Amino acid sequence: MIEFEFPWVAYLLPLPIIIYLLIPAAKKQDSAVKVPFFQSAMGFDNVSKNHGQFHLIRRTFLVLTWLITVLAASAPRYIAEPVTLPTNGRDLMLAVDISGSMGIEDMQLKNRPANRLQVVKEVIGDFVQRRKGDRLGLILFGTQAYLQTPLTFDRNTVDTLLLETPLGIAGEKTAIGDAIGLAVKRLQQRPENSRVLILLTDGQNNAGEVSPIQAGQIAAEQGVKIYTIGFGSDEMIVPGLLFNRTVNPSAELDDKTLSQIAELTGGLYQRARNSAELHDIYAALDQLEPIEQDLETYRPIQSLFYWPGAIALLLSFMIVLTHPQIVTWFNLLFSAMKQKTDRTDSSADSSPDSSPDSSPDSSAANSSAANSSAANTHAADRVQS
């Protein structure tokens, strides 16, 4: 179905006629002016006599251009058939830690060393693609928390934006409380029984305005269920000057706070020490039961104004090309080119023939002229004698 976003623009259609009737025509002033190129200028005055058909064409183009311009200004658009959105699913907000510590290479990904963020992108990307029917949102946090994507059914966009996220773009520290607060703000407009936040971090809260426990209490009041995931290996071999030593790269992970947040909101805290355990955790989260929601439909809309706009632009070029002066200039140009071609052809025809072979008529004429000259010479000699 095609409809117009601004149908009132159609009231402008008679505007040119109103202007023509209300505004008086400009008075023509005849003045004696010496024009050096008078003969050429006379062609402009006779255009209406010689090219009357162009006036009709230009008037037609002008009318069509105005009609199509008004059509484009009314913003036509195509509205497709209604599309029904999924009626069951959850509103999942994913909060991912991208602080500097996520760059520690204590993981293996496809039998190759990898940092924590690379593994998270791989595992969460698969999780996102499996969540059909859910609205997914993405929050990235470091020193500050910010919304990367709002709740949407477009899983591909969420996955793509996560994959394109660089390490440390939100700062080197970790603001867990701010990330929870931002998620609660985005989820509070959704049905209460479908609000879920999955928060992944590898450290402890050391930045932000709100503490994680306070943010967890607010989330519990708003009916947001939080699943927390602590990520990072317990052991990592670090080469030393004389020998290698084993360190705990996850020493700063605050398991106690993450567990309290999950308990406050009715969620669950889980610990992932490698990519396999992280994958299993997100696979278990896939078992979240879908919740029936209100039926929602939308109708895809496609703007069509650029088609009549392009046609109006093309017609305006045609109006310019059919202007009497433009037509006269083209005629003068073609006439000049034709005259030059005719002069070139005539000069070529009048040039003497330099070839050794001559026609019989020209030979006879030359012979007659020679005999006449000889007779004149003989007569002169007799007179003298």
Q: Does 201 have pLDDT greater than 90?
A: yes
Residues 142 and 99 sit within 8 Å (Cβ to Cβ): yes
Check if the beta carbon of residue 247 is closer than 8 Å to that of residue 236. yes
CA dist 253 → 108, 200, 246 (Å): 20, 11, 17
> Does position 350 have pLDDT exceeding 80, yes or no?
no
Averaged pLDDT of the chain: 80
From edge to edge, which strands make up the β-sheet containing 145-152?
Answer: 145-152, 135-141, 91-97, 195-201, 225-231, 269-272
pLDDT one-digit tens code per residue, 13-66: 999 888 888 888 766 665 555 555 555 545 445 544 545 666 788 888 889 999
pLDDT attached to residue 384: 42
Tokens representing 221 are 């009041």
Least confident of 185-194, 210-219, 235-244, 362-371: 362-371
**273 within 8 A of 281, measured Cβ to Cβ:** no
Question: What are the residue ranges spanned by the domains of the chain?
Answer: 1-22+39-81+299-316, 86-296
- Residue 225 confidence class, pLDDT cut points 50, 70, 90: very high
In contact, 180 and 197? CB cutoff 8 Å: yes
- Residue 364: the pLDDT is 47
pLDDT for residue 356: 46
Does 360 have pLDDT greater than 80? Answer: no
What confidence score (pLDDT) does residue 352 get?
A: 53
What is the per-residue pLDDT for 158? 93
- List the structure tokens of 112: 């190759």
For residue 162, pLDDT over 90 is answered with yes
The listed range with the strongest mean pLDDT (36-50, 68-82, 242-256) is 68-82
**Whole-number pLDDT of residue 291:** 53
pLDDT at 8 over 90: yes
* 251 pLDDT more than 50: yes
d(CA 15, CA 18): 5
Side-chain half-sphere exposure of 199, counting CA atoms within 13 A = 39
Q: What's the pLDDT at 344?
A: 79
Q: What percent of the chain has pLDDT over 70?
A: 79
pLDDT of residue 334: 83
Q: Which residues of 286-321 are buried (b: 16+ CB within 10 A; e: fewer)?
A: eebeebebeeeeeeeeeebbeebeebbeebeeebee
For 86-296, CATH number out of 3.40.1190.20, 3.10.20.90, 3.40.50.410, 3.40.50.300 equals 3.40.50.410
Has residue 377 got a pLDDT over 70? Answer: no
Q: What pTM value is reported for the model?
A: 0.58
Instruction: Report, as an integer, the average pLDDT of 96-113.
Output: 89
Between the CA of residue 294 and those of 76, 86, 118, 205, 254, what are the distances in Å? 31, 9, 37, 37, 39
- Split at pLDDT 50, 70, 90, the class of 133 is confident
**Per-residue pLDDT averaged across 214-226, rounded?**
93
Query: Which residues have a Cβ under 8 Å from the Cβ of 286 and sit 6 or more positions away?
Result: 127, 130, 131
Please give the average per-residue pLDDT across 212-241, as a whole number.
89
Q: Are strands 91-97 and 195-201 parallel, antiparallel or unpaired?
A: parallel
Residue 216 contacts residue 226 (beta carbons within 8 Å): yes
The CA R_g of the chain, rounded to the nearest whole Å, is: 44
Burial class (CB in 10 A: 0-12, 13-18, 19+), 380: exposed
End-to-end CA distance of the chain: 118
